Amino acid sequence: MTVGIFRALAVLATMAALAGCIDHANEPVLLAVGVPVNPPSVAHSLCMTDGNAMYGEAKRQYELRAQLTGYAQADAFEAETVARAAAHRQYVACLSAQGYRALYAN
């Protein structure tokens, strides 16, 4: 019984320590432009999911285009740049549809 309690406390302590490792400094502040349907945290998580999906899709399409054109040595840096830009555009478009505008610190 006491071993289970100590094990649960150890798991909770580990989770609390790892939660402090999450970087929230680079997250944008969401400014409500219209009448938002969802609260900012829900809109952010929905739009991050859309952005992540677009990132993977853009990378996949870049590799397919490189294969179709016969460009055997696809540039990994350019693929990453294209995928990040596509993910950011998708994130901003999703936030706009949710009724928010992203404000970044920098």
Give the CA distances from residue 30 to residues 3, 56, 71, 86, 105, in Å, rounded to whole numbers and listed in that order.
Answer: 45, 24, 41, 20, 11
Write out pLDDT tens, residues 42-52: 999 999 999 99
User: CB-based burial of residue 95 (10 Å sphere; 0-12 exposed, 13-18 middle, 19+ buried)?
Assistant: buried
Assign 66 a pLDDT band (cuts: 50, 70, 90): confident
Report pTM. 0.72
Composition of the chain by helix, strand, coil, percent to 5:
65, 10, 25
